[in-house]
Chains A and B, each alone.
Chain A
């Protein structure tokens, strides 16, 4: 494509890039918020990826059968929450290693989605596509940012938010204050699954037209990286998601060009940009400050 010549198209490009950054960062914002609830309450959530995947599948399947994206979104949310309930069961009362159990949840989601897809649609690779009129156009972007503000308010301005932060920073102090720690963590993990499920839903019924196998492609982990980069704070983490979204949008745009300034860029290299960027961000900025102190530690009196 030679369309990039001249000032005009540069502006158009930037404009499009801005809009698509907002769009493609939506699933990341939801998932990062999901990770935030769980991790601020002291539960590591490597399982975001799997929760997004089942959310994406649940949303696509429901939208296909009911022709209603709102119901689809709701089922996506519920599917993420259901998986989070399994995760919660293993890591809260049973006190399993959170990283290992999280990976198991991811593998479970990788298996269960094509399995159900085959039962419902007789193919494992993807669901049939959803017509444009039955998909969301802009609303999820708005919803994601409302969720960011709400999360910030809940964390900073409500007693529940305070309990949540204490469950992650100093669970024994919370326990001493008469608030049971594990129920707080349960709520946090379920909220986490709900948001990750919503994030997955935006992938299948907003950004694309169907569920396809392993469509999350590492976004759950990118959301975690954004969370770490944003030091577990909602506004900062959402900002980090925008940055990741920008790289993804740029990656999508760049695929259209066979050469940049006479230097040819293989498509494979452009595709890995967001992943390389994630590694760089983590390596450059992953300080230990801001990490919830009781993160990853099961609670018992």
Chain B
């Protein structure tokens, strides 16, 4: 309907969307390439949701993580290849984790609203990263705002199946991490504590759970998960930190988490869907006169709105979704 309003044929647009997303091995690869960061950011948002809070800061966390990965790759060219990739990965996780922990700490200890703080930290991260990428780490050989290239032993090789689309170990890592998050949230004591805090803060406190500590840790893990986008992007694709590389993966992650019911498996499925939507929509930019990729943002907004209501249809509050899930998941 929105498309029709813009004066284009909706069927035509849908065709472009589908062909753009799945038309060839390369297109499919690009869809998976876009899905990979969305799995990370979706998990990041979902973990914090489970702990009863809202992470709008994945965008900043992933930028800091990507910059850290690029910095390690650039600054230690002599690093032996066996430890090179793990080092860069750990750097990305730690940087993202610290960036996530600060709003978590502010929420837990100072009571300031995590939504406002994470938004502010997105802007601060953008400023910090563009400073570091443009001054100390600048690529002198390039006109683009980006860091120099990382040393070759840091790079992940893409799978040849996708005709050159940069899909590789990053996607596998995302799937492994999603499984680990599931195991952690449902099979570990700490995971149980976090979910308890998310469902009923007071009850959790009475039961002797350190609510503040859970909050800070949940946000740190979320930051680390978002930081892993840096691994897929820097080590698996561009080989450098490019200012503004992320087409708002952090915000799409919110839609991914909500549509995926804050469950790791749901997140993976939703990430694939949004990856396809994103790839298809960027095709629209080229093939259609009047309909642009912003269409995918509009879809996201509408999807989140609908999901936010459906949660209430099932139970009374958002944690109601959690209640249902915990009964199922044990």
Chain A residues in the interface with B (C-beta under 8 A):
46, 86, 90, 94-97, 99-101, 103-112, 114-115, 118-119, 124, 217-218, 221, 224-225, 228, 266, 268-269, 271-272, 275-276, 278-279, 282-284, 286-288, 298
Contacts and interface: CB of A to CB of B under 8 A. Distances in A.
Q: Which residue, A105, A107, A225, A298, has most C-beta atoms of chain B within 10 A? A: A107
Contacts of B300: 104, 107, 111
Contact of A286 (B111, B131, B248, B254): B111
B165 interface: no
B318 interface: yes
Nearest to A282: B112
6 contacts: A90-B309, A96-B308, A100-B311, A228-B112, A228-B116, A268-B128
Interface string B100-134: 00000010001111011101110110111011001
A90 B298 contact: no
Chain A interface SS verdict (over half): helix
A107 B254 contact: yes
A96 B311 contact: yes
B305 A279 contact: no
Nearest to A285: B112
Contacts of B311: 96-97, 100
A115 B295 contact: yes
Contact of B292 (A96, A106, A118, A286): A118
B119 A221 contact: yes
A46 B115 contact: yes
B305 A96 contact: yes
A107 B134 CA distance: 29
Contact of A268 (B54, B120, B131, B307): B131
A75 to B, nearest CB: 18
Given A112-B298, A115-B2, 8 more contacts: A97-B317, A103-B54, A103-B56, A107-B297, A108-B301, A110-B297, A268-B134, A286-B111
A100 B54 contact: yes
B109 to A, nearest CB: 9
Q: Which residue, A112, A119, A279, has most C-beta atoms of chain B within 10 A? A: A279
Top 7 closest pairs, chain A to chain B, by CB? A111-B297, A108-B301, A104-B304, A268-B131, A272-B127, A282-B112, A111-B298
B7 interface: yes
A224 B127 contact: no
Contact of B106 (A105, A109, A282): A282
A94 B301 contact: no
Nearest to A112: B298
Interface in B275-291: 290-291
Contacts of B303: 104
Interface in B35-75: 54, 56
Contact of B123 (A119, A275, A284): A275
B50 to A, nearest CB: 14
Given A103-B56, A103-B304, A104-B304, A286 B113 contact: yes
